[in-house]
Structure 1
Amino acid sequence: MIILVVVISLSVLILVHEFGHFASAKIFGVKVEEFGLGFPPRLFAKKFGETLYSLNLLPFGGFVKIFGEDSDERTPKSFSAEPVWRRSVIILAGVFMNVVLGWLVFSAVFFAGAPSHLFIAQVLPDSPAYEAGLKEGDIVLTAKSGEVVLDDPVPSGEFIGLVNAVSAETLELEIMRGEDVFGVSLKGRENPPEGQGPLGVSLVDVGFAGESFGKSFVKGFQITVSTLKLVAVSFVDFFLKLVVQPGVLETVAGPVGIVALASQAGSLGFVYLFELMAFISVNLAVLNLIPFPALDGGRFLLLIIEKIRMKPISRKVQTAINAFGFVLLLVLMVLITIQDVGRLID
C-alpha cells in the first residue's frame, strides 16, 4: 500500500512539473498538441479544443507536447514563433511549479504536525540491540520491564532512564518496522564500552505539533528557501567532487532508491512521506535548472545563447545536443538503478 502511495506521489511531482509547461503555453496562446497522464502506450484520449488529453499505460508522471517545440516552424501558435522571453517562461514554468508545490506541501506538513515516535537512528555492531535483530529505522512503540511500561510515543529521556535503571534485566520492546509490528526481548550490558550505552543504540525523537494556518505558510516558505539553498550547494559540491572522486556517484539514489527511502518515511506516517515529497519536489526544481542538454536548464541556456547571438541556433544542432544529453541521462539512470537494486539486495 505504501509503495503504491509513493509511486503516485512521485508521479504527481512530475505531472505538476509538466503542468507548468502546459499552463504557461496556454497563457501565451501557444498550441499544446497533447497533455498526457502517464506515458504511452495510450489507453484513452479525448480532444478538447486544440489539445488532446490522454491517459497512458505507464503511470509515472506525464508529458506535454507543445506545437513547434522541436521544429523551426514559425507559424501562428508555434513555440518557435514566440520571443525568447516567452519561450524562457514556458521552459522554466515546470521548475517554478515544483518550487510552489514544495512550498505548499511543506506548509501543509507544518499545519498538520507530525506524530511523535522514538526512532532508532543507529545500531552498533555486537551490541545487545544488534544481537536482538534491531535495525536502523525501527520505531519503538512500547517498552516494558517488570511493572514499568512506556507507551507510544515513548520519550527518549524516559526510555534511556528505564534502560539504565533495569540494567541487565530483561526489556520487552514492541517494534514497528515498515508495516510490521513485532516484539523483541533483550538485556542491556552492565558495563558497556564508553559512549555506547547498555543497548548500543542511538535514538532520535521525531515529531512536532501543528502550527496555525498563517504560521505554517510562513514556515513552509522559509524551509523551501532553505532547501533550495541546501540542494543547490549540494549539487555544486557533488559535481566538483565527481571530477576527482568518481566514487561519489555511489551516494546517488535513483527512482528505485527513492521509492525505498519514501517507503521508510511512509512507515513513520504519511506526514513524513509528504515532507519527503516536498523535499524531492524542490530537488527536482534545482536538478532541472542544471544547464545540461535535455534538461530545462540546458534548453534555457540555448535560449540565452540565441539572445546573445541575436539569432536562433540551428534546429539540427539543438536536436543533436538534446539527443546526446538524453542518451547520457538514460545511461546514467540505468547505472544508478542497477546500483539501487544492488543496495536493496544487500
Structure 2
Amino acid sequence: MNTFISIIIIFGLLVFIHELGHLVFAKRAGILCREFAIGFGPKIFSFKKGETVYTIRLLPLGGFVRMAGEDPEIIQIKAGYEIGLLFNAKGKVNKLIINNKSKYPDCKIIQVERIDLEKDLFVTGYISDEEGLVTYSIDEKAEYVHDEQATQIAPYDRQFSSKTKRQRALALFAGPAMNFVLAIVILTMYAWIAGMPVDEPLVGEVIEDGVAIGAGLQSEDRIISIGGQEVNTWEEMTTIIRSNPNTPLEFGIQRGLEQFEVTMTPQERVLHEDQVEGFVGIAPMMEKSIIGAVAFGFTQTYEFTVLIFEALGMLVTGQFSLDHLAGPVGIYSYTDEVAQMGFLVLMQWTAILSVNLGIINLLPLPALDGGRLMFIGIEALRGKPIDPQKEGVVHFIGFALLMLLMLVVTWNDINKFFL
C-alpha cells in the first residue's frame, strides 16, 4: 500500500509540474486553456477557476492541457440551426443555448443564417417574432451551452495556432523544462538534507561487517596512503580500493596527531556482467551548504541527463533491447524496491524519473512535445504551416505506435516480475 501511495504521489507530482509548465506559458501567450488534467479517462474531481477547468481523472498515466484550437470544436453551429441567445449588460450575446432552450425562458430564439465565433464575432439570423435578418455582436468570452454544460468560445486570437512560432514553442517546451527544474530542486533538497560527500580521504562512517571496522578505523580518520602511494582525495582512495579486491593493502592512517598503518584486504563486490570491485566498508565525511547543495542539484541533474541519453543511444544502436525498457508495471516494481531503502533514496529516484520524463517528451516523435516542436521547426523552414489535418494524422499515428510500444513494454514487465 505504501508503494501504491508513493507511486501516486511521485507520478502526480511529475505530471503536475510538467503540465503546469505548459499551462503557465500558454496563458502568458494568451491561449485559452480549457482544461488542466492530471490523468486520463473519467473525471474523479473537477473545479473551474477563471477560464480553465482543473480535473483529476481515473487513470494516473499522464495528463494534458487542452488548449483552444488544438482540436476541432465539439459544437459547430451551422446555418439553419435554431439556438437561444442570452445577452450581457452591454447588449452583446454572452450565451448561446444549443439545446434544452426551454430551460432558459429569457433567451431569444434565432434561426442562424450566418455565425462567426472566431474573428468578427457575430450571429445573423431570423427571430421568430421579428421580420427580416437581425445581427448581434458576440462577446469574446461568450459561452455556448450544450446539455447544460457551458464552454467558452475561442476567438482565433485565443487559439494555439494564432500565436507566433516562438510563443507556441515556449508553451510546448515549458512542460519538459519544468521536469528538469523539478529534478534540480529535488536534488538540491536531497543534498541539503543528506549533506554532500567531502572530496577528502576522511572517514565519515564505518560500515558494520566491513573490514574497516575490524581493522579499528573510526569516524574522522584520514587515510593518507595506500600501499605506499599517497592519496589526497576520496576519489583517488576509492579508485585504488576498487581496483584491488581480495588484495592485502597497507593503509596509512592519521588520527589526530597520531599516524599508524593497518593492513586491510578489500572485500569483493560483484557488479553487472560479472565485473567485481573491492570495498572496505567506509563512507565519506558529509558537509552541508546552500551553495554546495544548489551546485549538486545542477551537476547531478546534468549527469542523470547524460546517462539517459547514453542509454537511448544504446537502444538506437541495438546495444539495448526492448527488454531493458520499463513501463508502468516495471516502474511500480522498482519504486517498491526504492521506497524500502528510505526517503532520501526515493527523492533521488523521483529526480531520475523527472529527468527521464523531460527527455522522453523532447524526443522528435509524433504526439510528444518534441514531435510538435519539430513541426514548428519545419514550419519555420518552409515559411508556412503544415496542413493541420495532415499534422493531426501524423500525431494520431504516432500516439497509436506509442501506445503499442507501451503495451509491449508492459507485457515484458509482467513476464519479468510476475511470470
TM-score calculated relative to the size of structure 2: 0.60
**Residue-by-residue CA offset, 1:204-255 (whole Å, 9 max, x unaligned):** 87797352222101111111122222222321232122xxx6x711111112
Q: In terms of Rg, which structure is larger?
A: 2
Percent identity, aligned pairs only? 31
**Does the C-alpha gap of structure 1 residues 200 and 237 become closer, same or farther in structure 2, counting only changes over 3 Å?**
closer
Instruction: Please list the CA deviations of residues 28-72 of structure 1 after superposition, one character each: whole Å capped at 9, or x if unmatched.
Output: 111100112332311232222111112323344432111112359
**2:392 — aligned with what?**
319
The correspondence for 1:222, drawn from 288, 293, 299, is 299
Cα RMSD after superposing both structures: 3.0
Distance (whole Å) between structure 2 residues aligned to residue 33 and residue 210 of structure 1: 47
Normalising by structure 1, report the TM-score. 0.72
Structure 1 stretches lacking a partner, 5+ long: 116-150, 163-193
1:271 corresponds to which residue? 344
| Cα distance, 1:312 vs structure 2 | 0.8
Q: Is the 8 A contact 2:3 2:332 kept in 1?
A: no
* 1:268 aligned counterpart, secondary structure: coil
Provide the rounded CA distance (Å) in 2 between the counterparts of 1:228 and 1:201.
27
Aligned to 1:289: 362
Q: Deviations over 1:104-125 (max 9, x none)?
A: 011111111179xxxxxxxxxx
Partner of 1:21: 22
> Partners in 1 of 2:415 and 2:159 — Cα distance?
46
Equivalent residue in structure 2 for 1:93, among 149, 152, 174: 174
Choose between structure 1 and 2 for higher RCO, CA contacts under 8 A separated by at least 6 residues: 1
The 1-side partners of 2:24 and 2:282 are apart by 42
Q: Which amino acid aligns with 1:338?
A: W
- Alignment of 1:39 with 2:40, yes or no, is yes
Number of the residue aligned with 2:59: 58
Structure 1 partner of 2:288: 211
Q: Which runs of 5+ in 2 are unaligned?
A: 74-117, 119-154, 197-204, 217-245, 248-264, 271-278
- Structure 1 counterpart of 2:211: 157
Q: CA 1:205–1:333 in 2, change beyond 3 Å: closer, same or farther?
A: farther
Aligned ranges 1:155-234 → 2 under 5 Å: 156-158=210-212, 202=270, 209=286, 211-234=288-311
Aligned to 2:4: 3
How many residue pairs get aligned? The number is: 276
SS of alignment partner, residue 339 of structure 1:
helix
Runs of 4+ in 1 over 6 A off after TM superposition: 159-162, 203-208
SS in 1 for 2:188: helix
Are 1:114 and 1:272, in contact at CA under 8 Å, matched by a contact in 2? no
Are 1:38 and 1:55, in contact at CA under 8 Å, matched by a contact in 2?
A: yes
Letter in 2 for 1:101: L
Asked if 1:81 is matched to 2:159, the reply is no
Contact 1:265–1:273 (8 Å) recurs in 2: yes
- Judged with a 3 Å threshold, the aligned counterparts in structure 2 of structure 1 residues 212 and 345 are, in CA distance, closer, same or farther, namely same
